Chain A
Amino acid sequence: MTMKVELNDVSWRTKKTTVIEDVTMTLEPGMTYGLLGRNGAGKTSLLALIASYMQPTSGTIRIDGENPFENERLAPHVCFLFNADYSEEDGPASEYLEAAARYRPNFDQAYAEELAALFELPLDVPVQKLSSGLQASLEAVIGLAVRAPVTLLDEVYAGMDAPNRTRLYDAVVEDQARHPRIIVLSTHLVSEMEYLLDHVCLLHEGRLLADEPAASFTARGVTVTGEAAAVDAFVLDREILHTKELGGTKQVLVTGPLAEEERQAAAEAGLTLGSVSMQDLFIHLTTKEGASHA
C-alpha cells in the first residue's frame, strides 16, 4: 500500500503566533524526506498536522486524496513518533509492541524484535527505567516495524547514542528498500543523516525555504577558495552566504550551481571550487544573514 501526501497552503496559528505559514508540498511514496529546520522552526507542528494531531488554521492536507483528520481509513496508516515523556510509564517495552501489533495493520512483530535486539533494547524492563537513548530506540523500533505508508519520525534519534543512530540509519535504508513508503525524518542534526535523504524540505520560522531533491539542494552552494582579491573579484556579482578568512586566503560560500565557463574562469584565476555539505548549507540558509538569500 502506498499513499501520497499533499499539503496546500497550510498554515497553523496560535492566538499569539504563526507557527506554520502557507506550506505547500507533496510527499511521494518510496521517498525518504529530511525535514530540516532549527529549533522552533515548526517541524514538529508540521508533522503533527500531517498526523492529524491538530487541524490546520487554513489550507488543506490530503493523504491518498482524502482529508486525514478523523479519517478511520487513513489513521492506521500514518505513524507519527516523537520523543515522548515516559517518566510515568511503568509497563515494559513489550507492551508497546503488543499495542502496536493489536492496532497497526502492517506491524511486523518479528522485525520489531529483531530491531530491539539490534538496538540492545530490553523488552522486559519498565519503560520509565530505560535510559532516554533506549526510550528513543523503542520509538524507532515501533516507527519502523509499524511499516505505515506514512512514517513520520520527529527527532526520535536525537537521544540515541552514536552506534544506535548508525544502526537506525542502516535499518531505514534497508527497510525502505524492502517496503517502500514515505519516511520523513525531521532533524536539525543534518550531517550524519545526509546520505539517507532523497529529498530535503527546509523549514525556517514556519515557512518552507526549500523543497527539492537532496542533490539539487546541496548544489545550491559552492565554496570558492583562494587569494582574497581573486576571490572577491570572482564573487562580485554572486549571492554570498558566508565568508571565512585566514591570512591572505579567503573562502566564500556562494549560491550555486556554477556554469562550466564560470568554473573555467575560477581555475584560470587560481581559485579552488568545492562542494558544500548539507549541514553547512542548512546553517547558512537558516541563520539571519543566510535566510535572506534563500
Chain B
Amino acid sequence: MPERLPVRRMLTADAVNIQFRWSLWFVLIMYPILAFLEAELFFATNLPDDLSFRSFLVEPGKIYMLIIGIIFPLAYFRFFLSQGLTRRVFYQANTAAAAIVSTALIVTLFLLSWVLQLLFGFADGWLTAGAAPFPGLPDTALVQVGAASLVFFQYYMVGWLIPACFLRGGGWMGAASIVGGLLFMSATDSLMQQASLYPAELLVPAGDLSLSPWVVGLLQGVLTAALLAAVWIVLRRMPLKAG
C-alpha cells in the first residue's frame, strides 16, 4: 500500500487545484477585456495609465477573491468533513490554499499586465510603470505584488467569514458579519491607499494617512491575524446540516 500523504497537504493541494481551475476562468475572461481596453481601439484618447494594473486587475481580483472565499468553503466544507477530516484541518489547509491562490493569481495578473504594457506602448515602463495599485507604498514590483497578494487573501477570508457567520448564528450574525467585513475591507484598503476611505472614515479621520510602510505592514498584520482568528472562532463550532 502506498504511503499516505499528510492529510493537510493533500487537502491544501486539492483546494488549490480546484480554485486554480476557477481562477483560470477569471483570468481568461479578464485578460481579453484588459487587452481590448489597452489597445484603445474604440476610445478616442489615452486611458489613464493606472487602468492597466490597478483598475482592471487588482479591483476585480479583490471581488473575485471575495466571491470564491464565499463559494469554495460553502461548497466544500461539508464534503471534506464527510471524508473524515476535522474543522481544524479544513481551516488550516484552506487558509494555506487561499494564500497560495492569492499569490499565484496576482503574480499571473501582474505578468500578463506587463505583457500588455509592452504590447501597447508602455514598454518604456518597468513593471508597475507608475501605475502602482497602492501609491502610498514603495513603487517596486515586490512590494506592490506582495501588498496585492495580502489584500486578495484578506478579501478571501472576509468572503469565508460571511457565510460561516450566517450558518453559525443565523441572520443577525450574518448581517453583522457583512457590516464587519465592509469595515474591515475599507480599513485595509485605507491603509494600503494611505487615505481614509469610506466607510472606514466613519471610524478614523478622513484624509491622507502618512504612515510608514513598516507601520502599514504592522497594522495589516494585526488586522489579518484578527480576521484569521474570527474565521476560526466561527468555524470551529459551526453545526453542519445533514441532508
Contacts and interface: CB of A to CB of B under 8 A. Distances in A.
A71 B89 CA distance: 10
Interface in A69-89: 70-72, 75-85, 88
A148 interface: yes
Contact of B240 (A54, A76, A79, A103): A54
B138 to A, nearest CB: 43
Nearest to B238: A54
A84 B240 CA distance: 12
Nearest to B237: A55
Contacts of A79: 84
A103 B83 contact: yes
Contacts of B82: 80-81
A104 B242 contact: no
Task: Report the contact-size class of chain B (Cβ under 8 Å from the partner).
Answer: 20 to 34
A283 interface: no
Contacts of B80: 103
A48 interface: yes
Interface string B171-183: 0000000000000
A161 B236 CA distance: 39
Contacts of A55: 237, 239
Interface in B202-243: 236-237, 239-243
Contacts of B75: 88
B243 A70 contact: no
A154 B85 contact: no
B242 A53 contact: yes
Contact of A53 (B4, B10, B89, B239): B239
A72 B88 contact: yes
Nearest to A88: B75
B243 A71 contact: no
Interface in B85-126: 85-89
B239 A103 contact: no
A76 B81 CA distance: 9
B243 A83 contact: yes
Nearest to B10: A102
B4 A105 contact: yes
A47 interface: yes
B7 interface: yes
Contacts of A80: 82, 242
A155 to B, nearest CB: 9
A99 interface: yes
B86 A100 contact: no
B64 to A, nearest CB: 20
Interface string A86-119: 0010000000000110111100000000000000
A55 B87 CA distance: 13
A44 interface: yes
A102 B80 CA distance: 11
A104 B242 CA distance: 20
Nearest to A83: B243
A75 B75 CA distance: 20
A81 B7 CA distance: 21
Nearest to B236: A70
A47 B241 CA distance: 11
A79 B84 CA distance: 7
B84 A148 contact: yes
Interface string A46-79: 0110011111000000000000001110011111
B84 A103 contact: yes
Interface of B: 4, 7, 10, 14, 75, 79-89, 236-237, 239-243
Given A76-B7, A81-B82, A103-B85, 18 more contacts: A45-B242, A53-B240, A53-B241, A54-B239, A55-B239, A75-B84, A75-B85, A76-B84, A76-B85, A77-B84, A80-B242, A84-B243, A102-B14, A102-B83, A103-B83, A103-B84, A148-B84, A154-B242
18 contacts: A44-B242, A53-B240, A55-B237, A55-B239, A70-B87, A72-B7, A75-B84, A75-B86, A76-B85, A82-B243, A99-B79, A100-B83, A102-B83, A103-B7, A103-B80, A103-B85, A104-B83, A104-B84
